[in-house]
Amino acid sequence: MTQQLIDSGIEEKISKVVGGISNLPTPPIVFSQIQKVLSNPNTSAFDIAAIIQEDPAISAKVLKLTNSAYYGLPSEIESVKQAVVIVGLEAVKNLVLSASVFEAFSKGKLDKEFQDVFWRHSLGVAFAARLLAHTLKSKMMFDAEAAFSAGMLHDIGKMVISVYMPDDFAKINELREQKPNTPDHVLEEEVLGYNHMQIGALLGKEWKLPAKLIEAISFHHFPQLNESENSLPFLIHMGNYLTHFTFDSEPDSEISIEPVAEGVVNFVGTSIDQLNGCADLLREEYGKSETFMEMAKGM
């Protein structure tokens, strides 16, 4: 099994690669500011709204997402403060993170086909992880909104490779055609010597994201290797599986989806049948996400 960010030599190598990218996206500043304010128990909707309103572009995107079909609110939300009050602090924080990440990777030369597939899958895992957090009756307690953020970001290292390492990205794609049933992280290691989980975790550190989100990025393929008590890597792992099962699996296809890692289902206290049974619910949730996709693609 592949261990994430344990070998200091690999981490140093990735740091040099990522550090050498002169125009790497900057941290989502508004998200970081909200994180700090939320640590204060006396934080109010007004405090959060005041931070978001300092960035007119993010404010507009938060309002657009709040008024999207995903939330299905009965009347239009006209202010950021109103959005915070109605959908909640944590949900608005997720909207800010989504809008910030979409913006961060909207510039530069992009592979449009990859971008479409990437964001659809990332959103699918975000919705799946939040759905499972609400649905699973297990021995573990899940934070549904943190699950959404982690799902959005779990594969962000792949976007770094696509946008800033195009030659390596092309080699990985060529290798995928030769080995269609090989997981992406294995192909990446053959070409790069490291993988998207390690790149994404390092980017998360650069962005000063919460440790539990960084762990979810780093361990989403092998949650059982994480030594902390953080349950997010397990939830994102299962959300990743559910998304592939729901949208990518076909009975007669020669392409197989990566199975749930050994021991994960038992550890969480659920079953594969219970996971697969959430597919219709995920399709319903995902059907409301078009506004997120439009924003991701800069429409």
pLDDT in tens, 263-283: 888 888 788 998 889 999 999
- Which value, to the nearest 10 degrees, does the dihedral of the CA atoms of residues 171, 173, 177, 181 take? 110
Q: Tokens 């690669």: give the residue.
A: 17
Write down the pLDDT at residue 253.
Answer: 60
Write down the pLDDT at residue 139.
Answer: 61
Write down the pLDDT at residue 252.
Answer: 59
Which of 67, 44, 61 has the alpha carbon at shortest distance from 100? Answer: 61
pLDDT in tens, 206-250: 888 889 999 999 999 999 988 888 889 999 999 999 999 999 877
Write down the pLDDT at residue 2.
Answer: 41
Write down the pLDDT at residue 191.
Answer: 95
Query: Which residues contact residue 103 at a Cβ distance below 8 angstroms, ignoring those fewer than 6 apart?
Result: 57, 58, 61
Write down the pLDDT at residue 247.
Answer: 92
DSSP letters of 11-34?
Answer: HHHHHHHHHT-TTPPPP-HHHHHH
Write down the pLDDT at residue 3.
Answer: 44
Which of 152, 44, 140, 144 has the alpha carbon at shortest distance from 100? Answer: 152
Count, residues in the chain: 299
Residue range 8-25+110-296, CATH number? 1.10.3210.10
Q: Residue ranges per domain, the chain?
A: 8-25+110-296, 26-104
DSSP letters of 105-159?
Answer: TSSS---HHHHHHHHHHHHHHHHHHHHHHHH--SSS---HHHHHHHHHHTTHHHH
Residues of the chain with pLDDT under 50: 1-6
